[in-house]
Copies of this chain bind each other. A is one copy, B any other.
Amino acid sequence: MEDILKEVCKRIQSKEDEIVADVIRLCRQPSISVQGIGIEETADMLIDSLKGIGARVERIDFGNGYPIIYGEIMGNSDKTLLFYNHYDVQPPDPIDEWVSPPFEPCVSDGKIYGRGTSDNKGDLIARIHAIKAFLEVNGSLPVNVKFLIEGEEEIGSPHLAQLVKEKGDLLKADGCIWEGGGRGADERIEISLGCKGISYAELEVTTAQNDLHSSNGTIVANPIWRLIWALSTLKNEEEEILIEGFYDDVKELGPRELATFDELTVDDLRLQESLGVKGFLIGLSGKELMKRHLLSPTCTICGFISGYTGEGAKTVLPNKARAKVDFRLVPNQDPEDISKTVEKHLQKNGFSDVKVTWAHGQHPYRAPLDSQIVKAARWASHQVYNANPSILLMTPGTGPMYELSGKLGLPTVALGVGHAGSAMHGPNENIRINDLILGTEMIAVLMAKFQRI
């Protein structure tokens, strides 16, 4: 690492108290989007913080949506890095399980506890302080930086598509650092290159005007049976999805992408323990398990209800059955196409009596492994953490990455200051101060590398 970067890192280390204080200050301000709590106050704080490091700041409002904060600082380069963050947090429930109050952050055992510390106010403060330190040491930034900080991530980012459509030019960049992430269970830093998409369907069958006595099961169609037979055509016991064309658009991985799994640490027993299970599907373990977890599209029944479900025996022939099914998608599956494929499959297999209703879908996204932002992130994490990062081609979950990164063609990686025990969305959410400082250094080093790559 060159001298200037070493100095920036030292500067960051010397500012530990200030950085911690800023995380505490931001987390003390509730900003619960689903309950509409503290939105304006938080937006004002962020505008001040960005102005404080010399950014040009713009507040963008769409209808009754929560304000989106945009900021930009020009650097010594024609390269631009976009930081995606959100200032909203999950509700603190169950409050009883917090050891300290969720919105009165406190430091204990080298950790900062409080709602939002990990998801993702800590990430945001790290980014702001990396820039601040760079400017203090160097006078200017190695790249142009842009901030996009929305307040609706925890409620599904309902205005992100509109932002990209109407303000796409403002968001133009050469790479993007998404929020979230940090150290994995093996203590190595994780760099995620994407997330899955989703199609979510409700399937419903109605057979009669009312529930009937079950003795009519001889001659009257049973909606549970209909739905079971329909669903059993979707996936077999070997976990193969049987819908014609379902896998058609799944992009094959190259050898270099597959090689990322060789560098992952997979601790099956630890994973079993954290999930509360005694084994995994179809006998998988190790890297094969992780490949499936990160890369496979799914067909998961999330709910099923029909008929009598109370205690004891009631002999009823129900007239209606409903099931909810989510399909997690991987590049280049398209949620619209998948929904058509599923409906066609049901028709073709004689289940035109199954009524399908689709919830809003999301596209999958995965950054190219050879993109500059991935290379810069990998190099920077070596420098800062003195270890290979874990490159995760995807996360198993779904996020709005495609709406921004996919639509703008903006190579994106997610990385942050969390750790395996950060309890995102749960009680006693926390980050470790050491991770916060190293995560701040990581952003500084990454900016410098990104300029020259």
What residues make up the interface of A, taking CB atoms closer than 8 Å to B?
A: 196, 198, 200, 202, 207-210, 212-222, 224-225, 228-229, 231-232, 235-237, 275-277, 280-281, 284, 289, 292-293, 296, 298-309, 312-319, 321-324, 326, 328, 350, 359, 395-398
Enumerate chain B residues within 8 angstroms of A304, measured Cβ to Cβ.
224, 304-307, 309, 321
Enumerate chain B residues within 8 angstroms of A318, measured Cβ to Cβ.
302-303
- What are 12 A-to-B residue pairs whose CB atoms are below 8 Å? A202-B313, A208-B275, A208-B277, A209-B276, A216-B396, A219-B281, A228-B228, A229-B232, A229-B237, A302-B314, A302-B315, A303-B306
The answer to whether B308 touches A303, judged by C-beta atoms less than 8 angstroms apart, is: yes
Enumerate chain B residues within 8 angstroms of A276, measured Cβ to Cβ.
208-210, 212, 319
The answer to whether B232 touches A312, judged by C-beta atoms less than 8 angstroms apart, is: no
Enumerate chain B residues within 8 angstroms of A316, measured Cβ to Cβ.
302-303
Enumerate chain B residues within 8 angstroms of A313, measured Cβ to Cβ.
200, 202, 302, 324, 326, 359
The answer to whether B317 touches A309, judged by C-beta atoms less than 8 angstroms apart, is: no
CB-based nearest B residue for A201: B313
The answer to whether A303 touches B314, judged by C-beta atoms less than 8 angstroms apart, is: yes
| CA distance in complex: A214, B236 (Å) | 18
CB-based nearest B residue for A231: B228
| CA distance in complex: A365, B256 (Å) | 70
- Output the least CB separation between A116 and chain B (Å): 20
Enumerate chain B residues within 8 angstroms of A299, measured Cβ to Cβ.
217
The answer to whether A219 touches B293, judged by C-beta atoms less than 8 angstroms apart, is: yes
Contact of A303 among B210, B281, B307 (CB under 8 A): B307
Contact of A218 among B198, B213, B328 (CB under 8 A): B328
The answer to whether A300 touches B198, judged by C-beta atoms less than 8 angstroms apart, is: no
Contact of A222 among B222, B296, B301 (CB under 8 A): B301
The answer to whether B284 touches A219, judged by C-beta atoms less than 8 angstroms apart, is: yes
Contact of A307 among B202, B301, B398 (CB under 8 A): B301
CB-based nearest B residue for A301: B224
The answer to whether B275 touches A217, judged by C-beta atoms less than 8 angstroms apart, is: no
The answer to whether B280 touches A307, judged by C-beta atoms less than 8 angstroms apart, is: no
- Output the least CB separation between A29 and chain B (Å): 28
| CA distance in complex: A293, B350 (Å) | 24
| CA distance in complex: A276, B317 (Å) | 12
Assuming the contacts A302-B308, A303-B306, asked whether A219 and B289 have C-beta atoms less than 8 A apart, the reply is: yes
Enumerate chain B residues within 8 angstroms of A219, measured Cβ to Cβ.
280-281, 284, 289, 292-293
The answer to whether A214 touches B326, judged by C-beta atoms less than 8 angstroms apart, is: yes
Assuming the contacts A209-B276, A322-B309, asked whether A221 and B281 have C-beta atoms less than 8 A apart, the reply is: yes
